[in-house]
Amino acid sequence: MSDPFRLDGRVAAVIGAGSGIGRAVAIGAARQGAAVACLDADADAARRVAETIGSGASAAVLDIRDGAAVAETLGGVAARGGLDIVVCTPGVNVRKPLLDYSAAEFDRVVDLNLRGSFNVLQAAGRLMVPRGHGSIVLFSSIRALVVEPGQSVYAMTKAGIVQLVRAAAAEFGPHAVRVNAVAPGVVETPLTAPIRANAEWYGAYANKSVLKRWATAEEMAGPTLFLCSDAASYVTGTVLFADGGWTAADGRFTPPSA
């Protein structure tokens, strides 16, 4: 392979492409040579990203909570030019103590994060498995592994995504379809805007990572596109933590030298 990281000749459907990590992944995939379908619940945002990319990019509206719409939209992408890569980035969080959670809030988080990811995984798998190739990347989080007060339902869904990825990798692997997850730490996206608006909260999160800063959305594109590429041809069923060392370091106190 002259450059195993390139995506020339491949078609990538990026869900959540209208903003944040999804936008960065869509633009990054195009720069690596892929034809990109920009899919988002916000049709105008998806169109703007496709226009930014230019040649080879398309845009469509998609709400991943609607399983039939997911199947139809991904099927349409595949029918027009094939489907080699599917990346699913959307997520929602209601930060609230577990005892204060309402049934409607529970359903809102689970419906998008978990059911939506399942819908994408199932629809992409049904297209890729018969063709015998493909790469699917879902988005988990550090919250699949470590939690804090107010993160109960979000953390549950992100841990669930990890198990979906592992099960799908086991089932799709014999058909040469790889399934992986990216688990970001704190990233500057619309989802984290309430945290960024609070200087003390923002600083506490920055200091928790060993790099002492937040990630940009663009810094999530590299890990994601690695998993999509031939450079990761023997990588499936795994979770790639792109968290600035958040989950590696336990505690903040450095003991004095002996």
Q: What is the pTM of this model?
A: 0.95
pLDDT above 90 as % of the chain:
91
pLDDT digits (tens, 9 = 90+) for 88-101: 999 999 999 999 99
139 belongs to a structural domain? yes
Catalytic residue among 101, 154, 202, 205: 154
131 belongs to a structural domain? yes
Asked if pLDDT for residue 256 goes beyond 90, the answer is no
Q: What is the mean pLDDT of residues 26-50?
A: 98
Total count of residues recorded for the chain: 258
Q: For residue 154, give the amino acid letter.
A: Y
Question: For residues 71 and 85, what is the distance between their CA atoms, to the nearest angstrom?
Answer: 15
Asked if pLDDT for residue 252 goes beyond 70, the answer is no
Output phi, psi for 171, to 5 deg.
-80, -35
- 108 lies in which domain range? 11-241
Contact between 215 and 191 (Cβ < 8 Å)? no
Q: For residue 114, give the amino acid letter.
A: L
252 belongs to a structural domain? no
**Residues 225, 16, 59: CA angle, nearest 5 degrees:** 95
5 belongs to a structural domain? no
What one-character DSSP code corresponds to residue 154?
A: H
CATH of residue 33's domain is: 3.40.50.720
Q: Into how many domains does the chain fold?
A: 1
251 belongs to a structural domain? no
Q: What is the mean pLDDT of residues 160-166?
A: 98
6 belongs to a structural domain? no
256 belongs to a structural domain? no
Q: Which pLDDT score is estimated for 96?
A: 94
Q: Is position 154 annotated as part of the catalytic site?
A: yes
